[in-house]
Amino acid sequence: MFITFEGIDCCGKSTQVRLLAEQLEQSGREVLRLREPGNTRLSEHIREILLDKEFSEMNERTELLLFAASRAQLVGEVILPALDHDKVVICDRFYDSTVAYQGYGRQLPLEDITHINRIATQDLVPDMTFFIDITPELAFERCKDRLAADRDRMEESGVRFYERVINGYKSLAQQDGGRFYVIDGSKSPTDVHMTIWRLVMEKLPLLSSYVGGDGLVMNRSLEAMEVDTVGL
């Protein structure tokens, strides 16, 4: 099972990745938590280049190809082998980020991006994608301390850019209703997590029970879940 999270910077998706991973682990699943770009030796180097604001001269096409290069390495080295071993892979961003940021945000041709994404992913498509939807204003409000202290190269882009990125995600949702879920990110982290957990349960109904150490199958109720809301 391959689950991805999408959204603009500071939408709270890292918290949601962590909450879902913990919940799935408690349900007896082996989970691999990843974030893009990164997670392999090569991809981490590419991440540093991509986010370094010293590279203000970076061409939009260079940026596109570096994201794709990082993803190609991650898919081949980590994601496909993990899925082969029946792990649940949860990735903080995947190719929809490239469509939204480089396609809609930077306005590069969408057909080129689709083609490059297919090369990078070997046609791997997530089973479920959660787009955490918040306004740029709320994102900036939530992250104002971090942004004031140390904006990275992407975060320098401004509100207009983020509005285009959000529009991109919304058109992806319209085209791809089967796997793409739009989640209201203005709600509390616990509420957002509950919504996501219910949707995952619909896809993986067997996970609502898990086998305990004594071999008994125990039911977990959503209400009994302890959700840590720190660290949005």
What residues line the site for ligand TMP (CB under 6 A)? 9, 35-37, 67, 93, 97-98, 101-102, 154
Q: Which is nearer to ligand TMP, 154 or 201 (CB)?
A: 154
Residue with tokens 């957002």: 192
How far is residue 28 CA from its own chain's centroid? 22
From the CB of 187, what's the least distance to ligand TMP, in Å?
20
**By the 8 A CB rule, do 187 and 180 touch?**
no
From the CB of 37, what's the least distance to ligand TMP, in Å?
5
Any idea how long the chain is? 232
From the CB of 171, what's the least distance to ligand TMP, in Å?
16
Q: Which is nearer to ligand TMP, 101 or 131 (CB)?
A: 101
From the CB of 218, what's the least distance to ligand TMP, in Å?
35
From the CB of 213, what's the least distance to ligand TMP, in Å?
37
* 105/59 Cα distance (integer angstroms): 14
β-bridge mates for residue 4, sequence order: 91, 129
From the CB of 137, what's the least distance to ligand TMP, in Å?
17
Q: Which is nearer to ligand TMP, 37 or 173 (CB)?
A: 37
Q: Which is nearer to ligand TMP, 10 or 24 (CB)?
A: 10
The two three-digit tokens of residue 15, written as one number? 């918290």
Q: Which is nearer to ligand TMP, 35 or 220 (CB)?
A: 35
* 114/132 Cα distance (integer angstroms): 22
Q: Which is nearer to ligand TMP, 27 or 162 (CB)?
A: 162
The two three-digit tokens of residue 110, written as one number? 């969408």
**Burial code of 110-136, b = ≥16 C-beta within 10 A, e = fewer?**
eeebeebbeebbeebebbbbbbbbbbb
Q: Which is nearer to ligand TMP, 26 or 114 (CB)?
A: 114
DSSP secondary structure of 119-157: HHHTT---SEEEEEE--HHHHHHHTHHHHHHH--TGGGG
Alpha carbons within 13 A on the beta-carbon side of 168: 26
From the CB of 27, what's the least distance to ligand TMP, in Å?
26
